[in-house]
Every structure is written in structure tokens, then in C-alpha cells.
Amino acid sequence: LLVAHLRRIAPTVSYAMAQDNNHGTSEAAALFIGGSWLERLGHDEGQRWHRQGRVLLENRVRRLIETDGSFSQYSVNYHRLMLDTVSLVEIWRRHRGLAPFSTTYSSRLSAASAWLRALVDPESGDAPNYGANDGANLLPLTDADFRDYRPAVQLATALFEDRVAYPAGPWQGQLEWLGVRPGLAHGPTTGSTMFDDGGVAVLTLGNARTMLRYPRFRFRPSHADALHVDLWVGGENLLRDGGSLSYAAELKWQDYFAGARGHNTVQFDDREQMARLGRFLWGPWLRTETRVPVRATSAGETVGASYRDAHGAVHARTAELAPGVLTVTDRLGGFASRAVLRWRLRPGDWVRDGAVASDGRHRLEVTADVPIVRWEIVPGWESRYYLQKTAIPVLEIELASPGTVWSRYRWGK
């Protein structure tokens, strides 16, 4: 059975490599693991497949993982799939006593582990619903929910950094099942950081975390999510991404979830940030015009970026995370008739009171230096699990002229 699989993979592996995604890492892993086992059993083709898999793994890691750990698919869930795949390779390599991979390979995977660790909320194990998601979960060896990424982070951190990411807990099961024993204890948590190679910035302050997504595309983007902002407080996702729902869904749902309406960003003139060229293709790709690196201020932590689309519309966004409040400043211009800012809220009974939307515990105040022509809470959708969608409230703010909009989300007392 194994020989049949590898005889099917090896001749067509160039197609998987050409995708520049998890197809290449997965097929390279299959050749490496399966080939090295067959080689040990004395099979004629085992050594060739083993060597081919090793070469391809080195190639894929060097090409698809940036030096800061960003992965080519710009997706939390595909990042986990890639990490689980190479973690399985490393466990097998150690188990069979095979030669180590290169230092570049190891350093890229250490950085990739740190990338996912920075995006995962340590209290819930959940992460921004960022990028494409087909429901993959390669190593479900714990009782953790599909959206709990701590088992994958714990395993990859132990393998590629020789320490644990979190204190002992249910997410430790991966290590125990697979016989992985890191040499160092729990290390320091990740603070505010910017993964500029892939266009992701994370602000942390106490138990609050904010992610800003900005366009830095070396590989094809799957979502039109430029300048999307996620907000997490105490393990709860307060301002949230829409997800993917299904790759085979009706076109209207593909457009909704992958397009601007599925993200906390601005849509100009009812068009997408990039034109849809196919089920998985957008173009021309956006490019960041300006970038404000993560920095500490007297109030808290701040970051920002801007882009200009193919029609000349400009969106410049700055996010500042301070105790009890996230302030997002949007400078908008270059559009023909209207710009719509959307905030995708946590489920609840949100009502409007003047310039404020509130669910009784949290408040979102939106003001502008030009007239707001529409201020409305509308029904929206999110997909936290593949093939499932649930209703959420969405605040829409519409401008008819260029201007600056300030959004202040407050939590706590």
C-alpha cells in the first residue's frame, strides 16, 4: 500500500511544488517518511524516495517560509497544517536516527513556530480566523477543540526550539503520545511584534491582543483582507474575521467570506480590494504604501499601514491598543462615491445610542471629521468551522466624501 502511494506521488510531485502551498510540504513529507521506512526494509525504490523527500522538504521550507516565520498561504490554519506536517517529519527523523536537516531548515521552522505562537490566544488557544481554512487538523491527539492551536504550538516549539510554549496542560498530550521531551522549561511569552515578510502585526497589552493584517504578498493571497483588525480580550474574540465557510460554496458566499465584507476593513465603491480572477485567485495584488512599525507610546502600543488600490482609492489605518480601549484611525480617500467601514462584532444584543453601539458590556464609538451618511447595525455571518456559518451583528459606517474615521472599542467597566 505504501509503495503504491509513493509511486503515485513521486511522478507528479512537480505539480504539488508549483502550488507553493501545503501540497508541496505534505507530499515531500510522504516521500521522506515512507521512503526512509521502505529503505530500511530493503525496498529497491526506498532510498530514492527518501532522498527526494529530503531535498524537497529543504526546498519547500526555504522557499515558502520567510525568515520571520511567515508562511506562503497567509492563513492561521494552513500554517498549523504545515507545522504539524514538518513536526511529524522531525519526530520520524529522530525515531529512525536519520541525518538532521540544514541549519536554515531548522531556523525557519523555529521562526514559523514563533509566528503561530504570537497569534494564538494563550487563554483560549484560539486564534484570529485569518486566511483560508479547509478544516484541516493533522494531529488531533488531544481532546482540544479544532480551534485550539496550543497542541500544535506546544509540539512545534518543543521540536524546533527545545522548550515548551505553555505550562503543562491538556495541550501537552501531543508531546506525551509522540515521546517528545523538550530540554527547557516554559519560556517568556511573545509581546507586541511585526511579521513584516507576511504582513501581520500583533499588539499585546495585558490580556488584550490586536492583530493588523496588511498587504505583503510574495505568494497569491486567498482573501481580500487588507488592513483587517482582530481584537481579543481575556480569551474572547471581540472584533472578528469571517472565515472561509467552503471552497465549494455558491459564488455569493465565496465572495462574502473571502471579500471585504468578511473582514473588519473598508470597502470602496462596492467593489473588492482586488478583482477576483478565479476561485483562488485575486489580482492585481495590493501593495503596502506606508508602514508604521510596532512601537510603544505613553498610552499603549501602536502600529499602522496604508495601501492604494488599482482604482486610486487610499486606505491608511493606525491601531492603538491601550488599557481598556482599542482606537483605530482610518484615513480614506480617492474613491468615487462611497466608502463603507465594517466592524464585525461578537454575538449579542447590540443597539445604537447616538455614535455608540453597545451590547451592555462593551461599547464601540465611531466618529468622523466628515458627515456619516449611514450608521447601521446589520446582520452578518461568520464561519468558525468549515461548512458551518452562524449569524453575527456587523456595524457599517458609510462615508460619501474623503475623511478620517475614529473607532474606539471599550471593554471592562
Residue 315 confidence (pLDDT): 98
Q: Which residues partner with 292 through β-bridges? A: 304
DSSP letter string, 24-50:
HHHHHHHHHHHHHHHHHTT-TTHHHHH
**Running DSSP on this structure, what letter comes out for residue 303?**
E
Cell of 38: 521502505
Q: Could you give the CA distance from residue 70 to residue 159 in angstroms, rounded to a whole number?
A: 18
Q: For residues 117 and 139, give the distance between their C-alpha atoms in angstroms, rounded to a whole number.
A: 17
3-state secondary structure at position 321: strand
Say if residues 83 and 120 touch (Cβ distance below 8 Å). no
pLDDT (0 to 100) of residue 132: 95
b/e per residue, 278-315, with b = 16+ CB within 10 A?
Answer: eeeebeebbebeeebebeeeeebbbbbbbbbbeeebbb
**Residue among 210, 237, 241, 247 nearest 226 (CA):** 241
Cα–chain-centroid distance for residue 118? 11
DSSP class of 99:
P
Q: CB atoms < 10 A from the CB of 324, how many?
A: 15
Contacts of residue 310, Cβ cutoff 8 Å, sequence gap at least 6: 274, 275, 284
Half-sphere exposure at residue 300, Cβ-oriented, CA atoms within 13 angstroms: 23
Residue 187: its pLDDT value, please?
65
Please report, as a single letter, which amino acid is at residue 113.
S
The model's pTM is 0.96
Cα 232 to chain centroid, rounded: 14
Q: Which of 344, 320, 337 is nearest to 396 (CA)?
A: 344
Whether 165 contacts 153, CB under 8 Å: yes
Q: What is the pLDDT along the chain (413 residues), one digit of tens a residue?
A: 999 999 999 999 999 999 999 999 999 999 999 999 999 999 999 999 999 999 999 999 999 999 999 999 999 999 999 999 999 999 999 999 999 999 999 999 999 999 999 999 999 999 999 999 999 999 999 999 999 999 999 999 999 999 999 988 988 889 999 999 987 776 667 789 999 999 999 999 999 999 999 999 999 999 999 999 999 999 999 999 999 999 999 999 999 999 999 999 999 999 999 999 888 889 999 999 999 999 998 889 999 999 999 999 999 999 999 999 999 999 999 999 999 999 999 999 999 999 999 999 999 999 999 999 999 999 999 999 999 999 999 999 999 999 999 999 999 86
Q: What is the DSSP string of 102-150?
A: -HHHHHHHHHHHHHHHHHS-TTT------S------S---SS--TT--H
- For the beta carbon of residue 353, count every other beta carbon within 10 angstroms: 9
